Each structure stands twice: as structure tokens, then as C-alpha cells.
């Protein structure tokens, strides 16, 4: 039996290389030091599986030469440099290693927190480089009894909370996607009011980077904070508005900031580097020997398992081969995942139950539809930690009930798929179908009939159905210099209406607040597909 070839494109820990080299069924090619052109044009065509890191882009050029590859393992968490859609079209499974660097990121967060309160780097430089012994210049503060606000209480944020407890801090977390008992069981406070976080002495953020969280802390939020607040970001660049962060540090509103990640990296000329009240590191969240070893071991084991066709741990996509599923089903799978993503963005609350309802021939594939819907729903809050393999297990683990309901086809359509999402405070329902030429359409939202392509930036505006509303909405949107590219309206018998307004450009919190303040507004939300 011929050996299976695994190509290591970028440097990984020797432990991972040893695992690959010692498997008798694996032909290891360590191409980490090869020029990228040679790697892709001469070596990748031989590969059954490739292990990559951030130095190798899995783009169209790479995929054009990946003649035999069945899986790609990203040795780390982020997959920004991997064209997942392109891989899916070629039937290539993309996997990552999402938990190997958890402790490293947690401990770096604590290091930045301690460095900020004790100004450790500056005291160190003052003595070691300037040879000045002035203890009176370096009075710090203690973590004990300080109020710590944790934004995002997932795998990393929760562990930061546990360690902060050992410092006798008063801790509160904000995470609308978790069951509050995940925090309260650890004797950690939970809030649904973001202003409670802004009132803390120290704030640290541990969320995915998505439409909801980019610029989550900006000038408006900083203005509400305590004078002398300390901010930490060891998660993703851009979660704090960097211009607002610089302004806050210069004014003294923010006493110190500990930053490991930047919006654009490498950040060797960033204005934060010019300030004396910032501790910075060059994206070291995963840079421990233990973390790198764990990443390499897991990546090697995953690569071997996928090469042999045994398993695809932490798969981020699902290879759909022509022979596996009927052709008509594929656009429905894509559609229901988009519908799931729309549902979670429209509600932005803790999810209690996911119900999938099917009508027509698609009912024979309700299990696959449920998996894709669940991935779409959880993607907003869990990002890399949810995939097609583990989606329903993850949902059950965080207390989400999943129900499947095959119904008689009374819709007048060939097929109809519906997601009914139950959250702590509401029920959100969305239905869709696929028309001729595989045209995906949303046909109903919360009982309002629509004809909507699930694509683009959409404002969902529910209002009392009285004259002048459309004009008011249009005036506010245009005042923010946005162009309305499409406007869909659904009405009911209770004198209420739902408008879905597609816009070109960025939708700000201020715009949504202005719409929400309209007397006719019942609710407003924003989704981006």
C-alpha cells in the first residue's frame, strides 16, 4: 500500500514532526524552509494533507495546485489565510487546532493585567536601561478588591475569571450567548447591561472578531468608563477602536492599556507604541513552548487521522461530493446556514432552543439541514470552536435544545425550510426556499411575507404601520451617508410592519439608536450576510 503524503508548509514544533515521521503509513515532507513558489508548484501537488500556519496562504493559487489534497490542517486557531469556501468547493476539509493555546492566552492576559497595575515594564527599563533607582516613581495599585469586567466568557474568558478570583478580585462578565449559570456557578457576576462592564476598574475582552464586536469599545463607551480605567486586549485586533483607545490614553481617561493584538499587523509604527501608559507585545497569545508543542502534536494527529480517512477533528467545513448528496439539496444547505446566521444576529440573546421545520422533499435530509442551521446560528458567538462535526454536540453542551419537525407540504412550494429560534426573551422565525436557477430566497420573517435574497447588510426595522415611517427611516439612513440598495416591506393584520432595508456601507450603533428612538419603532436589528 503506498504511503500517504503529508506536507508541513510552515514551522511547527519538533514533537509534531516526530509524530509524523514515526508513522509507517505517512510520507513526511517538511517544506517549511522551501520558497513559497516551489512549495506550491512542486511539492503541494504531491500532498494528501497539508499542515499550514500563517506564513502560507491557502488561496486560489495554492488550491489550483492542490491536485490530491483531501484535508488542510491549520496549526493554530485563526484561519484568516485559508479560503474555506474554495476548499469546500474542491472537497477539501479544513481543520484548525482551537484549544491548544488556551492557557497561553489566559496567562498572557494576566501578565498584561499585572504589568498595567504595577507598571512593570517601565520600572524594569528605568532600572536596567537607565540605571535609575527611584522607587517613589513606581507606585502601582493592587488587583485585590478591584472590579474586573470580562467581555466574552468562553474558553479563555472563563479561565481568566477563575484566575482573577485567586487575586480576590470582584468579577462580572457580559456575554449574551451563554447561560448565566456558567458564570454564577463560579461565583462570578453576570450582567445583560453592558454599562455594568463599563463601570469596572479593569476591563478585558475575549470575544470572536465579527460584525458585532469590531469596535465594540469606542469613544462613546470609553466616555462612560471610570477615570483611570485599565483596558486589556489579548484576543483580536480591532475589538477596541484603536483611535479612541489612543485618545483615551493620551487624555488620562484610560490609565493603562495592555495590548497584544492590533488591527493591522505587524504594528511596528502604531501610535500606541509612542505612549508611556501602554504595555504591548507582538501577538504572543500562543507563544509558549507548551502551546506550540500542543499545537504541533494536535495538528500532526489530526493530519494523520484525516489522511487515513479515520476522522476530521475540528473540521470547519464539510466536503460535499457530487455523489454524496442530491444536487437540489446543496443550495438549501447553504441557505439554511445563512438563515441561522441571520437569526442569531437579529436576536443577539442567549439561545434556548433551535427548531428546524421542513416541508417537501428536503425533509429526507432534515439531519443535514439541522447541522448547517446550527453552525450558522452558533457561528456568531463561538466562531472557530463550532463546526459541522461538533455543532449539535456544542449546542447541547451549552444547554440549547434542538428539535426537528417534518411537516406536510402545504406551502404551495416545492420545498420550504424554517428556523424557529427561542431565546430568553423572544421567538424569532425565518423561512426560506430555493427558486429556479438555485435562487435562494427568504420568504417569511416572524410571520411577515417577504421576497428577500439572503445577502448583504440589512437593517430589520419593525414598526407600527402608520403613514410616514418609510420616509423617517430613509431620512435617518441618508443622514448617515448610506445608500439604500433595496427595501422590502411586509405587513400584518395587526397594524404592524417589518421593513428589511439593504444598505451600502457601514451601519453604526448610532444609526441603529436613532432608528430605535423613532416613536413608531417596535424593534430594530442589523444583520450582515
- Domain edges within the chain: 4-99+290-307, 102-280, 320-443, 456-529
Catalytic residues: 236, 265, 283
Q: Kindly state the cell numbers that stand for 128.
A: 536596567
Q: Does residue 271 have a pLDDT over 80? A: yes
CATH topology (fold) of 320-443? 60s Ribosomal Protein L30; Chain: A; (3.30.1330)
Q: Which three cell numbers stand for residue 315?
A: 473540521
Does the pLDDT at position 383 exceed 90?
A: no
| 49-97 confidence digits (pLDDT tens) | 999 998 899 999 999 999 999 999 999 887 878 998 888 878 788 999 9
Q: 324 falls in which pLDDT band (50, 70, 90)?
A: low
d(CA 31, CA 97): 20
Among the listed residues 476, 521, 518, the one whose alpha carbon sits nearest the alpha carbon of residue 499 = 521
pLDDT at site 147: 98
Q: How confident is the model at residue 208 (pLDDT cuts 50, 70, 90)?
A: confident
CA distances from 234 to 37, 159, 199, 241 (A): 33, 13, 20, 14
pLDDT at residue 358 in the model: 97
Lowest mean pLDDT across 113-127, 190-204, 214-228, 350-364: 113-127
In this predicted structure, what is the pLDDT of residue 193?
Answer: 96
Question: pLDDT-based confidence at 100, cuts 50/70/90?
Answer: confident
Taking the whole predicted model, whether its pTM rises above 0.85 is answered as no
Q: Does the pLDDT of residue 528 top 60, yes or no?
A: yes
Fold match between domain 4-99+290-307 and domain 456-529: no
Q: How confident is the model at residue 319 (pLDDT cuts 50, 70, 90)?
A: low
User: Distance between CA 462 and CA 441 in Å, rounded?
Assistant: 20
Report the pLDDT value the prediction gives residue 323, as an integer from 0 to 100.
46
Of the candidate ranges 245-249, 292-296, 325-329, 343-347, the one whose mean pLDDT is the lowest: 325-329
What is the pLDDT, as a whole number, of residue 452? 94
Spatial contact of 444 and 429, defined as CB atoms under 8 Å apart? yes
Q: What is the pLDDT of residue 386?
A: 74
β-bridge partners, 498? 462, 490
Segment 521-528 shows an average pLDDT of 94
Q: What is the pLDDT of residue 240?
A: 97
pLDDT at 255 over 60: yes
CATH number for region 102-280: 3.40.50.720
Element (H, E) at 52: strand 49-52
Confidence band for 321, pLDDT divided at 50, 70 and 90: very low
**Which superfamily does CATH assign the domain made up of 456-529 to?**
ACT domain (3.30.70.260)
492: which residues sit within 8 A by CB, 6+ positions away? 447, 448, 465
Considering the four listed CATH numbers 3.40.640.10, 3.40.50.720, 3.40.190.290, 3.40.720.10, the one that applies to the domain covering 4-99+290-307 is 3.40.50.720
Average pLDDT over residues 24-40: 96
Residues 6+ apart with CB under 8 A from 458: 342, 452, 500, 501, 502, 503, 526, 527, 528, 529
The stretch 465-469 carries a mean pLDDT of 93
Q: What is the mean pLDDT of the chain?
A: 92
115, 332 contact by CB (below 8 A)? no
Over 60: is that where the pLDDT of 225 sits?
yes
pLDDT at 121: 87
Amino acid at each position: 500500500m503506498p504511503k500517504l503524503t503529508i506536507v508541513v508548509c510552515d514551522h511547527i514544533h519538533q514533537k509534531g514532526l516526530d509524530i509524523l515521521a514515526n508513522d509507517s503509513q505517512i510520507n513526511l515532507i517538511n517544506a517549511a524552509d522551501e520558497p513559497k513558489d516551489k512549495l506550491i508548484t512542486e511539492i503541494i501537488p504531491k500532498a494528501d494533507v497539508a499542515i499550514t500556519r500563517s506564513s502560507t496562504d491557502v488561496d486560489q493559487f495554492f488550491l489550483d495546485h492542490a491536485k490530491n489534497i483531501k484535508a488542510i490542517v491549520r496549526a493554530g486557531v485563526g484561519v484568516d489565510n485559508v479560503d474555506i469556501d474554495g476548499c469546500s468547493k474542491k472537497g477539501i476539509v479544513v481543520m484548525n487546532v482551537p484549544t491548544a493555546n488556551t492557557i497561553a492566552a489566559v496567562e498572557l492576559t494576566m501578565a498584561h493585567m499585572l504589568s498595567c497595575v504595577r507598571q512593570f515594564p517601565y520600572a524594569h527599563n528605568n532600572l536596567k536601561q537607565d540605571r535609575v533607582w527611584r522607587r517613589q516613581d513606581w507606585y502601582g495599585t493592587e488587583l485585590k478588591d478591584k472590579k474586573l469586567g470580562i467581555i466574552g466568557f468562553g474558553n479563555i474568558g472563563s479561565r481568566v475569571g477563575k484566575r482573577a478570583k485567586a487575586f480576590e478580585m470582584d468579577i462580572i462578565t457580559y456575554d449574551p450567548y451563554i447561560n448565566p449559570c456558567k458564570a454564577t456557578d463560579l461565583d462570578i457576576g453576570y450582567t445583560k447591561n453592558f454599562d455594568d462592564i463599563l463601570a469596572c476598574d479593569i476591563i478585558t475582552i475575549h470575544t470572536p472578531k465579527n460584525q458585532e464586536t469590531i469596535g465594540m469599545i469606542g469613544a462613546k463607551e470609553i466616555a462612560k468608563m471610570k477615570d483611570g480605567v485599565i483596558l486589556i486586549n489579548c484576543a483580536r485586533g480591532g475589538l477596541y477602536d484603536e483611535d479612541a483607545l489612543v485618545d483615551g490614553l493620551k487624555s488620562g481617561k484610560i490609565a493603562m492599556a495592555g495590548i497584544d493584538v492590533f488591527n493591522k499587523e505587524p504594528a511596528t509604527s502604531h501610535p500606541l507604541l509612542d505612549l508611556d501608559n501602554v504595555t504591548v507585545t507582538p501577538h504572543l497569545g500562543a507563544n509558549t513552548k507548551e502551546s506550540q508543542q500542543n499545537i504541533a502534536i494536535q495538528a500532526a494527529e489530526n493530519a494523520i487521522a484525516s489522511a487515513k480517512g479515520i476522522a476530521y477533528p475540528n473540521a470547519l467545513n464539510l466536503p460535499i461530493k457530487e455523489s454524496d448528496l442530491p444536487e437540489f439539496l446543496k443550495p438549501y444547505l447553504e441557505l439554511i446556514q445563512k438563515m441561522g446566521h441571520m437569526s442569531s444576529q437579529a436576536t443577539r440573546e442567549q439561545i434556548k432552543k433551535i427548531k428546524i421545520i421542513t416541508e417537501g422533499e428536503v425533509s429526507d435530509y432534515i439531519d443535514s439541514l439541522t447541522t448547517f442551521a446550527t453552525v450558522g446560528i452558533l457561528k456568531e458567538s463561538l466562531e472557530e470552536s463550532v463546526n459541522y462535526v461538533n455543532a449539535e454536540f456544542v449546542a447541547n453542551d451549552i444547554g440549547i435544545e434542538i428539535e426537528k419537525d417534518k411537516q406536510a407540504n402545504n406551502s404551495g412550494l416545492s420545498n420550504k425550510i424554517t428556523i424557529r429560534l427561542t431565546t430568553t426573551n423572544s421567538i424569532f422565525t425565518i423561512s426560506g426556499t430555493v427558486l429556479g436557477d438555485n435562487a435562494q430566497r427568504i420568504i417569511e420573517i416572524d410571520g411577515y411575507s417577504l421576497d428577500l435574497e439572503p445577502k448583504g447588510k440589512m437593517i430589520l426595522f419593525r414598526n407600527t404601520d402608520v403613514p410616514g415611517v418609510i420616509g423617517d427611516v430613509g431620512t435617518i439612513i441618508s443622514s448617515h451617508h448610506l445608500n439604500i440598495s433595496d427595501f422590502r416591506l411586509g405587513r400584518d393584520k395587526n397594524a404592524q410592519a417589518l421593513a428589511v432595508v439593504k444598505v451600502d456601507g457601514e451601519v453604526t450603533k448610532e444609526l441603529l439608536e436613532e432608528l430605535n428612538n423613532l416613536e413608531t419603532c417596535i424593534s430594530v436589528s442589523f444583520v450582515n450576510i
